[in-house]
């Protein structure tokens, strides 16, 4: 049973790790850490953590690198990691951790559309599983919108008798900026998810692939950070939570979970991987309400419920589609055997 559902278990574990990313990142950024410098150190931690495993565990794999393939990996790193992460940390400086987690729930729908455009995903609306994939994505998107924009009565309010700190609720101007920037970051991330399946067919060493992307992203972010801010003081690492946040996001999020996602994309496809995104929101929402004293509203709970419903509907459709494909392949193999015997 565990072997059968190991891809599902891996994606649940990924989302648990992801839930800590906006929380720790918000702490580091709010304490004055430059967002671009944060991404640089995060990617450096990831590259250093992955390099030994990539060298020793995949030394037997023959994965030659041509110039064209190296250029493809460089461009995927630029759009999928460098742009996505840098825009994400600019956005999180202008929003709450919960809102940042909520907007990422557009990822399954965006990934689904991109996968259709790149012909990596097919939809058969005449079949129940095809309708389930589309309907699940729509319900998940609706849940994200409800979570982000519908409040209703507060369930947990830490500020009933006190003044809300400036850090807790961003201004309207910052919220709009943060929302638009976060949408751009999510689109870049979805592009990374979709394009991984194409690159993996040419370069099968997954650990080396992720390590190369982390190295390229580290170099690209260094150039970006220097171009934006020439002050040497921004590169100083503050010990405590900022350093812990960089190490956690680099080693656990970028290093470990990216490798798990690359593996899951190869096994189940990009849409399956993206469908688990809503789980991180629910975990972030609960922890953030206590850690950052954010108010929890009834609308947030209803939105979270819709997100979970969308997740399960989409997963049912994807699982049913896989079963039909496997059954069809077995039938084809059986027919070929029967023809050979005859």
Summarised one tens digit per residue, pLDDT across range 35-81 is 889 999 999 998 998 888 888 877 666 667 888 999 999 999 998 88
Helical (H) or strand (E) element with 289: helix 278-291
Q: Which residue has the tokens 């997740």?
A: 311
Q: What is the largest CA-CA distance in the chain?
A: 84
pLDDT at 298: 79
- For residue 172, being part of any structural domain is answered with yes
Q: Which residue has the tokens 């020439």?
A: 230
Cβ atoms within 10 A of the Cβ of 171, count?
10
Residues in the chain: 342
Alpha-carbon radius of gyration of the chain: 21
Does the structure show a pLDDT above 70 at 340?
no
Structural domain boundaries, residue 289: 6-122+162-297
* pLDDT tens-digit map of 169-214: 444 446 667 777 888 888 888 888 888 878 888 888 888 888 899 9
Question: Please, is 207 exposed, middle or buried when counting C-beta atoms within 10 Å of its C-beta (0-12, 13-18, 19+)?
Answer: buried
Task: Look at the chain and report how many structural domains it folds into.
Answer: 1
* DSSP state letters, 18-65: HHHHHHHHHHHHHTT--HHHHHHHHHHHHHHHHHHHHHHHTTTS----
Does the structure show a pLDDT above 80 at 233?
yes
Q: How confident is the model at residue 295 (pLDDT cuts 50, 70, 90)?
A: low
Helices 6-30 and 258-268 cross at an angle (nearest 10°) of: 150
pLDDT at 329: 63
- For residue 272, being part of any structural domain is answered with yes
- For residue 313, being part of any structural domain is answered with no
- For residue 134, being part of any structural domain is answered with no
- For residue 146, being part of any structural domain is answered with no
Among 84-93, 100-109, 253-262, the range with the most confident prediction by mean pLDDT is 84-93
- For residue 110, being part of any structural domain is answered with yes
- For residue 324, being part of any structural domain is answered with no
> How far apart are the C-alpha atoms of 312 and 319, rounded to whole Å?
10
Q: How many CA atoms lie within 13 A of 88 on its CB side?
A: 27
Does the structure show a pLDDT above 50 at 162?
no
What does pTM read for this prediction? Answer: 0.70
- For residue 112, being part of any structural domain is answered with yes
């Amino acid at each position: 049973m565990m072997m059968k559902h190991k891809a599902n278990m891996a994606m649940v574990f990924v989302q648990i790790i992801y839930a800590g990313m906006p929380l720790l990142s918000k702490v580091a950024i709010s304490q004055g850490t430059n967002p671009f410098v944060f991404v640089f150190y995060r990617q450096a931690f990831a590259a250093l953590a992955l390099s030994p495993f990539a060298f020793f565990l995949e030394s037997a794999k023959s994965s030659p690198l041509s110039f064209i393939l190296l250029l493809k990996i460089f461009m995927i790193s630029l759009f999928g990691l460098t742009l996505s992460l840098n825009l994400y940390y600019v956005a999180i400086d202008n929003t709450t951790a919960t809102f940042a987690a909520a907007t990422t729930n557009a990822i399954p729908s965006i990934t689904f559309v991109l996968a259709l455009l790149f012909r990596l995903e097919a939809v058969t609306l005449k079949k129940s599983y095809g309708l389930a994939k589309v309907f699940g994505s729509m319900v998940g998107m609706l849940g994200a919108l409800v979570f982000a924009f519908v409040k209703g009565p507060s369930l947990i309010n830490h500020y009933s008798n006190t003044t809300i700190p400036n850090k807790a609720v961003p201004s309207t101007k910052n919220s709009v900026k943060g929302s638009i920037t976060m949408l751009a970051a999510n689109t870049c991330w979805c592009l990374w998810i979709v394009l991984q399946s194409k690159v993996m067919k040419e370069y099968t060493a997954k650990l080396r692939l992720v390590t190369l992307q982390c190295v390229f992203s580290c170099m690209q972010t260094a150039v970006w950070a220097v171009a934006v801010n020439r002050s040497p003081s921004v590169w100083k690492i503050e010990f405590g939570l900022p350093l812990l946040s960089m190490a956690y996001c680099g080693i656990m999020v970028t290093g470990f979970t990216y490798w798990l996602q690359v593996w899951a994309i190869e096994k189940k496809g990009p849409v399956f991987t993206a469908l688990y995104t809503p789980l991180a929101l629910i975990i972030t929402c609960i922890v953030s309400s206590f850690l950052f004293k954010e108010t929890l509203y009834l609308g947030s709970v209803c939105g979270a419920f819709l997100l979970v419903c969308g997740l399960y509907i989409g997963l049912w459709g994807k699982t049913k589609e896989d079963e039909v494909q496997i059954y069809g392949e077995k039938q084809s193999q059986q027919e070929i055997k029967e023809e050979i015997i005859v």
